[in-house]
Structure 1
Amino acid sequence: MPQYLFQCGLATAALIIILLVQDAVLHAAIVVAVASTVFIVFIIPNSVAATPRKVIGGHVVAVIVGSLLYAILNIPPIDAVTSDSGYIVDVIAALSVGLSIFLMVVSDTEHPPAAVTALGLTIPGWSWSAVAFFLVGALIFSLVRIALRPKLINLL
């Protein structure tokens, strides 16, 4: 029981720090991606998905894909069409998730919550603060996991 309290407390503290550093909660998809990463890193820290390569690499891949597809959505002819119909935005958002998953598998950086990172950058809108939120969060969580690895166990 003390180990459960320790690791769940770490997960909670990590998320509180990240959310306090961020001016405001960005959007639900962004918070879901980060909260899911926190769960993996602190609750199942010895899983493959919790390794720094997967956590940081997966979010980097997703940030690149989400950023590129957000840029495509803002090309003037496409932007004009998307203002009349949300279907193209939905298709591009789905493509951002699918392409992120594919590139994570190909690059051996699979981190399931990172798929939501691409979605969070494509739909609500790209911003430097959103990119920093994902990447700094992934880096901090990975560094804490490395530092505390001898004390962490899988709780599942």
Structure 2
Amino acid sequence: MQIFDRKLKKYFPNYILQSLLATITLTIILYFENIFTNTAVVASLGATTFIIFAMPKYTTAQPRRVIGGHIIGIIVVVFCFYIASLAQNREGFLLTQNILKIFIPSLSVGLSIFVMVITNTEHPPAAGTALGIVVQGCSYSTIVVILITISLLSLTKYLLKPWLKDLV
């Protein structure tokens, strides 16, 4: 059984550097944006940070997927809130408030997956972003923070591209 990655010896400086860069980049972004009120969204952005800095050459780390996936997640959230508002006025036997509290978050993930795969913008943390926003609520500031964060992460990756290696 192997405990450490086979590439560790060869790319040890990259393991240290890329982990530090991820820490520093996200620290700066979160410091200026102060978004700790929506922990689920912060967790999704942390997963995006992992993908960008640990797997920079993977398809899911490409800007089209990072930015596109999160934008799709946000659009799906708006649609899910609209569906929820329509459904609240039609409460009945199968459509109770408790069912809506379970179904709408699930729908946000399912629709995010569907739209991301048909548009080639697959980015798994973006489905988590949609779920986090639906569960904890949405505000314009949350959406702006997400867009700024994914843009800054993608820009940082672009600027550091020559030095970043796949660590996974």
**Normalising to structure 1: TM-score of the pair?**
0.90
Aligned partner of residue 124 in structure 2, secondary structure: coil
Runs in 1 of length 4+ with deviation above 6 angstroms?
A: none
Please state whether the residue corresponding to 1:150 is helix, strand or coil.
coil
Aligned amino acid, residue 20 of structure 1: Y
1:114 aligns with 2:121: no
User: Which of 92, 98, 105 is the matching residue for 1:86?
Assistant: 98
C-alpha displacement at 1:79, in angstroms?
A: 6.8
Contact 1:70 1:125 in 2 (8 A): no
Distance in 1, matches of 2:154 and 2:34, equals: 22
The alignment partner of 1:3 has SS state of helix
- Give the Cα separation in 2 of the matches to 1:119 and 1:22: 20
Within 5 Å, give how 1:21-36 maps onto structure 2. 21-36=32-47
CA distance in 2: counterparts of 1:80 and 1:16, whole angstroms? 45
Could you say which structure has the larger radius of gyration?
2
Per-residue deviation, residues 82-115 of structure 1 (Å, max 9, x unmatched): xx73321210110010000000000000000000
Please state how far the C-alpha of 1:70 moved relative to its aligned partner: 2.1
Please point out which of 140, 162, 165 is paired with 1:150.
Answer: 162
Structure 1 gap segments, 5+ residues each: none
> Number of residue pairs matched?
153
Q: CA RMSD in A?
A: 1.7
**TM-score, reference length from structure 2:** 0.84
Instruction: Name the residue aligned to 2:141.
Output: 129
**Unpaired runs of 5+ in structure 2?**
1-11
Q: Secondary structure at the match of 1:123?
A: helix
Give the distance between the partners of 2:111 and 2:35, measured in 1 at CA. 29
- Separation (CA, whole Å) in 2 of partners of 1:14 and 1:68: 32
Q: Percent identity?
A: 39
